[in-house]
Structure 1
Amino acid sequence: MKTKLYVLVVILMITFISSCNSNILSYRIPNFEDQYIFDNIKITKGDSATCLHIGTTSLFDEIDFDSFLFDNKTLSFIIMRNDSVLYERYFYDTLRHPTTPIFSISKSFVSMLLGIAIEDGYIKDINEPITNYIPELNELNEITLEMLLNMCSGINSGGVLKSADIYFSTNLKETIMDYNVKKEITAQYSYDNINTLLLCIAIERATGTNIATYLESEVWHKAGMSREATWSVDSKEHNQVKGFCGINAAPIDLARFGSIYLHNGFYNGNQIVPQKWVEESFAKYNKPKDENGRYYSYSWRITNKDAYVAVGLMGQYVYIYPDKNIVIVRTGTSYDVFDWIEFIEEVTSYL
């Protein structure tokens, strides 16, 4: 009996494995090497990088802050106040790797590009149904761009395995169609990568250009980013940007990204993002709350201190605190030790 049961289990395992996406079997889970595995589109830096001043702080004179960050698997930690860099450290040879995968912080970039596309006249407003741009998904005709932005569209692409299948898909548009995405219109927060992927496709169709190219011309060059970045795509054949993740950028350029929002969209002499879009992104009214009780607005989380945070897998953070003109960036390989947002807020109380 035990032998038969063992054979049955083996057969089931073989059947399960053979049905999985081959990329999932090869790569298993998202990790920092994905930026070298996935095909990508290059995002060139501007002609000249925005000058960042160096400031000083006595905060770390009496504590070994570097060791604490290192012990908690931090790759980079940057503190800026009043546009001056107070603290900038890199660990685990991060400087040898000029770009870092930022995972779901990419969603906040997609949000930014949507605001720019509306300002440029490519998209009417956030109340438009997604089917205005992706008519083949006619069953989603009640879902608006704003619902997708706030993760309250009711879209459910499936469990963990299907999320992995989307992440490693070599044909994202086909994957979306194959899933027969379920939706239930609701005001409740329900996080799903499909939401941002649909926004990405909508922006591309509206502007007539790849969203990575749009990011390059409208943000990277105008903001004076210092390093070349990349945006991972599903494959060379289909060239669909992984809009829900996939940006690989230098941490110091993430600080510049935060500074754009800190200054209401105006940076390096350019109104990069409309001020109205920034204000609405950071408004709590009529916005859902995430699993930690923080407001989720236009792909940003709002803390009790009215700070704004872009969050990525494995502990990637861009933290903006307008009350003190502070931007903090943390990249790392783990975030399950404690709440990094609470830790960052504690740091700001001493600045």
Structure 2
Amino acid sequence: MKFQLKIETGNTILFSLACVCSLLLTSCSVIRGYRADGQSGPDIYSFEHHVHDTIANGALTFSFPYAEQQAEWIDTLHFFNQGRRYKNVTLWEALKGKTDTQGVLVIHDDSIVYEHYVGDITIDRLGTVFSVSKSITSLLCGIAVDEGYIKSVDDVVTDYLPELKKKDPMWQKLTIRHLLDMRSGLDFDDTYSLRLKDLKRLNAMAKLNYGHNLMKQIRGLKFRCEPGKEYRYESMTTEILGVVVERATGKRYVDYLSEKVWQPLQMESPAVVNVDSRKHGVAHAFGGISTTMKDLAKIGRLYLNRGVWNGKRIVSEDWIRQTTDYSEDNDGYHFNWYNLSNIGADKAQYPGYYAHGIRGQVLYVNPYKRLIMVRMGKQDNTFASIPYVFEQLSNCGF
């Protein structure tokens, strides 16, 4: 999130008393977030001072080996810049720019062929991946379907959250598939605007990130339209999906993620996920996971291998297919992953797909080229430039 305590009108910057009063009256969570993370909002290390639970790894670990021949040629390539016009820039220059990239990791044929780190990041340091967490929550949902905890993605949400039946009747039309494809119809926005007319929505977003009782917030939600009618990306939808997984499995999000993903994928480090409070312990399934770059790459390796990890089936191939097959419908967003249609790129002969979080956290996978790429950073002012650059790179020398 990004909070700036100012209102901009043309070239004039105002900080009005009315805005202050409205903020104080309607948004304790906004104030809490500002006090916790400052004017710029959370960065990839903010989890260190937020309430979180540990996602335990197991005794057995897997490490990507380094390729004998490192892809030093990557630093000599020229790439599209963020305006997508050719410019004489290297990969690092293309990603650094205004984005404050901290680290880039490229894995080809199961071996690390390129890595570059600056600032505070290292290959082993935990960083928050923000909405890449949505893609991991989708993976958990797929596993729950495979195991029969969730009968079908076309089940209605109230099968698992029956208390919502007494609320808006639209809840009984909302399916898990709607949650996975961001077609919930919920009246919720991922807004960061401090305009007076947007304060109510900003407060709701701040509650999602900084509130102490997420289930209370969920129970109070309304709908803007019937579920399934239109696509609109917003984080509350995936938060509800995380709660559905918990209710269906009877296990805490953090425990199910450890048991079904972190341990089987032989992660090298424990990870963490932010929770609303110690009292309620509801995980931020929409954007609260913090992990290392190399462990995040293992999620990519699982998808690249169609749901199999070192010979063991983790999630069904059908789930991977439904998630990653190239399609332009739904703005290229399916089961909480993106394909490159959503940024206007012509379909490449060998297209990849990716998970994306604010501030430009990216996990890119190209199964045709046996490529996994990870980028972590503190800022990204252009939503789609990093996946686009990775797609260009995948078609250069691999």
Note if contact 1:54-1:86 (Cα within 8 Å) is conserved in structure 2.
Answer: yes
Alignment match, 2:211: 169
Note if contact 1:52-1:85 (Cα within 8 Å) is conserved in structure 2.
Answer: yes
Deviation at 1:197, TM superposition (A): 1.0
3-state SS of the aligned residue for 1:197? helix
- Seen in structure 2, the aligned counterparts of structure 1 residues 259 and 148 have a Cα distance that, compared at 3 Å, is same
Q: Which runs of 5+ in 1 are unaligned?
A: 1-8, 290-294
Q: Say whether residues 1:288 and 2:334 are aligned partners.
A: no
Distance in structure 2 (CA, Å) of the matches to 1:265 and 1:150 = 20
Q: Say whether residues 1:39 and 2:70 are aligned partners.
A: no
Of the three residues 262, 265, 270, the one matched with 2:312 is 270
Q: Which runs of 5+ in 2 are unaligned?
A: 1-15, 78-89, 192-201, 341-346
Alignment match, 1:24: 33
Alignment match, 2:186: 155
Q: Say whether residues 1:53 and 2:65 are aligned partners.
A: yes
Of the three residues 366, 386, 396, the one matched with 1:340 is 386
- TM-score normalised by L of structure 1: 0.90
Distance in structure 2 (CA, Å) of the matches to 1:253 and 1:316 = 14
3-state SS of the aligned residue for 1:223? coil
Alignment match, 2:11: none
Deviation at 1:68, TM superposition (A): 5.6
Across the aligned residues of Structure 1 and Structure 2, the Cα RMSD in angstroms comes to 2.1
- Seen in structure 2, the aligned counterparts of structure 1 residues 126 and 341 have a Cα distance that, compared at 3 Å, is same
Q: Say whether residues 1:115 and 2:142 are aligned partners.
A: yes
Alignment match, 1:3: none
Q: How does 1:174-193 map to 2 (within 5 A)?
A: 174-193=216-235
Deviation at 1:74, TM superposition (A): 1.0
Structure 1 runs of 4+ with >6 Å offset: none
- TM-score normalised by L of structure 2: 0.80
Distance in structure 2 (CA, Å) of the matches to 1:188 and 1:214 = 31
Note if contact 2:95-2:386 (Cα within 8 Å) is conserved in structure 1.
Answer: no
Deviation at 1:216, TM superposition (A): 0.5
Distance in structure 1 (CA, Å) of the matches to 2:228 and 2:177 = 12
Note if contact 2:45-2:126 (Cα within 8 Å) is conserved in structure 1.
Answer: no
Distance in structure 1 (CA, Å) of the matches to 2:296 and 2:378 = 17
Q: How does 1:137-286 map to 2 (within 5 A)?
A: 137-138=164-165, 139=169, 140-158=171-189, 160=191, 161=202, 162-284=204-326
- Seen in structure 2, the aligned counterparts of structure 1 residues 86 and 97 have a Cα distance that, compared at 3 Å, is closer
Distance in structure 2 (CA, Å) of the matches to 1:331 and 1:24 = 22
Amino acid at match of 2:264: K
Alignment match, 2:5: none
Deviation at 1:282, TM superposition (A): 1.4
Amino acid at match of 1:48: L
Deviation at 1:183, TM superposition (A): 3.9
Q: How many residues align?
A: 338
